Structure 1
Amino acid sequence: MSVGAPDPESFQDMMNAFAVACPTAAVEIVLPAFTFGPSCTQIARIVYMNQCNPGQIMMVGASWFQLAEQYIAAGRGLGEQVDAFGSDAWEGEDCDAFTDQVGKVRAQLFAVAAFAIEVGLALFTVAGLLAVMVTAYCALATVLMGMALVYWPLQAFPPATAAAAAVRTAAMAVAATGLGVLKALDAALKTLGDTLAAAIGGGMTASWAMLAARGNAVDPLDLIGPTAFNMANGFAQMALRNAAAPSGARHAAPGLNHLFVGGQGLHNLGLNVNDIAQDGALNGAEDPRGTYGIDPGNLDLLPSADTPEGDEKPRGTWEKPAWADDPAPDWDGSRQ
């Protein structure tokens, strides 16, 4: 039975829409955060901390489903080829040993497929809730931005100060209600993310055990380098992100934090619009990501060491150490 994997390209329009909407919300929330106080500051923090693209996450999830489909097809094809020999064509101890080894390889293929399906389902699940979150904060940021734009001209015109006060009161009520909704979604996302991460961890452990039982053991020492390398990068990025975030407390954060949120939103909006216009192509002369693999506007200051498909050398300015790459799979156990 086929997995029936969706085509990742079917989520392109969704990805393009969120690529514009998310950074736009980061820009829009800046003026309300300066204007209407604590609730808007907390909303700005949620907008900043949840800058993402649910459409792109779904595209990645679809790719995992396609990967599972390919592994399932490989396992079935291998079995069909072996079955086609027929008992009359080959028999004996060597045949039995070969058939046994084929069975182990097929089991490994199906185990990897099962894990890929699990990852794909997890990505689709979290992307669905993120889509609700992002849509909600985009709508809220737009409404609050509109109210701020109404408030300031009224506030500057003395006869209209009463109307300005009414707008401010209404905006603060909208912000408080919207903040409650966003906090609930944020808490649900954290719970969902923790649950899915635990499930993926369990699935990975189970798949490793299954592969090891069929002759493809993973040496934990091979994983120390890649794991430490990626965790160091991730924690450094998270520390920079948290340092630049608006305060989540009741008191307003320093203005520079709000300005960074808006500046980052403008930066990403420009990059995303350019990517959409060029169908994802990067112009290295205009985009630092294309030349150095860095993105200062998003606090990504580590040059990329990835080698794009078709290139012989990394696009970044340094060579990734050999221990930072996972070893090739050992399907038949020959490296043990």
Structure 2
Amino acid sequence: MADPTYPAIAAKAALVEISVAAAVIPAAWPVAQIVYFNQCDPETIMRKGGDWLSMYDQLGTARDNLDSAVGTLTPAQWSGRDRDAFGVHVRKYEVQVIGTQVLAVTVGVTMLCVGAILLCLVVAYTVVSTILFAFATFIAAAAATVVGSPAAASALATANSFAASALGFLKGIEAMAEAVATGGAAAIAAAGAFDVGMQLGTGRTDVLKDLVQATVDGLDNVAAGFLSKWERDFVGYGIHSSGRHIAGSPNGPGYLIYGGMTQVAPAGADADGDTVWGTSGVVDNVWSRVFGGDVWNH
């Protein structure tokens, strides 16, 4: 297993810091959701993108070498139907390589762009999480003394304001990453279809068998990715509910039992003015997925 990269380590450290901070600073919960949702390793993503671009260069070199090799054979040295058939075969091969090059450069550029934006997001939420963690540490220490209580209250108000401002900034980067990833996925799908079309257009029907085999081989990764995303959304929704239902204090109208992934929300009105009953989080998440809407809001 490869050694963890610095961005991946920073992302995990930020999750620990923001989890502690959110226990003291109510407005930090939505930030915690963003940090949790965007645990990633941008450096590895960018490195793999570079590998795809390297493949593009290697395919281009192969084409150049082939052209050079064919160009050395003059009509005086080799001519006739065999030479013509060879030329047709080489041109088909070049078309196939071009199709693969288009796919390689599309995947590579997409991974580099997504990785770069995710790196910016990791750096941003790491800084925000560290600042909020420092706020939380100071607030907890100051609140433990009678003399420090006013300072703790003032720091809490400042921390909540900072968290709310930082949330908008982080959401902007997150939205940018999602937009680039969505656009990149569409571009990769189009490039893949173009590659397959180029292969079929030159008579290489084995590409369909290869496509089916690659799909079968990748099913385990697809299944693991789906389960991972489902688990992420499942837990993250509880964090979202916490940020939505909390009003003023971790012990106020609502709070999150983080380990149990359960949002506790006694009857009353949440920040949206909706009446809230019982526990949400896990149950709310299941309800919204099956029936849509929010089971707790009436």
- Which TM-score applies when normalising by structure 2? 0.77
Q: Residue 159 of structure 1 aligns to a residue in which SS?
A: coil
1:118-168 alpha-carbon deviations (Å, 9 max, x no partner): 111111111121122111100000000000010011111012211110010
Partner of 2:22: 33
Q: CA deviation at 1:103?
A: 1.0
Matched, 1:247 2:239: yes
Q: How far, CA to CA, are the matches of 1:224 and 1:22 in structure 2? A: 31
Whichever residue aligns with residue 23 of structure 2, its letter is: F
Q: CA deviation at 1:225?
A: 2.2
Q: How far, CA to CA, are the matches of 1:221 and 1:141 in structure 2? A: 44
Q: How far, CA to CA, are the matches of 1:131 and 1:146 in structure 2? A: 23
Kindly tell me the number of residue pairs found equivalent between the two proteins: 246
Q: Residue 35 of structure 1 aligns to a residue in which SS?
A: coil
Give matches, 1:87-236, under 5 Å.
Answer: 87-217=75-205, 218-219=207-208, 221-236=212-227
Whichever residue aligns with residue 227 of structure 2, its letter is: A
1:22-53 alpha-carbon deviations (Å, 9 max, x no partner): 1111111111111111x311111110111112
1:244-289 alpha-carbon deviations (Å, 9 max, x no partner): 335213134322168xxxxxxxxxxxxxxxxxxxxxxxxxxxxxxx
Taking a change above 3 Å as real, the CA distance of residues 204 and 76 of structure 1, as seen in their structure-2 partners, is same
Partner of 2:34: 46
Partner of 1:18: 7
Unaligned runs of 5+ in 1: 1-11, 259-336
Q: How far, CA to CA, are the matches of 1:49 and 1:141 in structure 2? A: 14
Bigger radius of gyration? 2
Higher RCO (CA 8 Å, separation ≥ 6 residues):
1
8 Å contact from structure 1 (residues 61, 124) kept in 2? yes
Give matches, 1:241-320, under 5 Å.
Answer: 241-245=232-236, 246-249=238-241, 250-251=244-245, 252-256=255-259
Q: How far, CA to CA, are the matches of 1:255 and 1:64 in structure 2? A: 40
8 Å contact from structure 2 (residues 8, 39) kept in 1? no
8 Å contact from structure 1 (residues 41, 253) kept in 2? no
Between Structure 1 and Structure 2, which shows a larger proportion of strand residues? Answer: 2
Q: How far, CA to CA, are the matches of 2:24 and 2:99 in structure 1? A: 55
Q: Residue 248 of structure 1 aligns to a residue in which SS?
A: helix
Q: Percent of counterpart pairs with the same letter?
A: 28
Q: How far, CA to CA, are the matches of 1:247 and 1:227 in structure 2? A: 31
Q: How far, CA to CA, are the matches of 2:21 and 2:11 in structure 1? A: 16
Partner of 1:81: 69
8 Å contact from structure 2 (residues 46, 111) kept in 1? yes
8 Å contact from structure 2 (residues 8, 42) kept in 1? no
Q: CA deviation at 1:86?
A: 1.1
Whichever residue aligns with residue 254 of structure 1, its letter is: I
Taking a change above 3 Å as real, the CA distance of residues 183 and 98 of structure 1, as seen in their structure-2 partners, is same
Q: CA RMSD in A?
A: 2.2
1:172-202 alpha-carbon deviations (Å, 9 max, x no partner): 0010000111112212222221111111111
1:78-127 alpha-carbon deviations (Å, 9 max, x no partner): 12111111111111111111111011112211221222111111111111
Unaligned runs of 5+ in 2: 246-254, 262-298
8 Å contact from structure 2 (residues 7, 43) kept in 1? yes
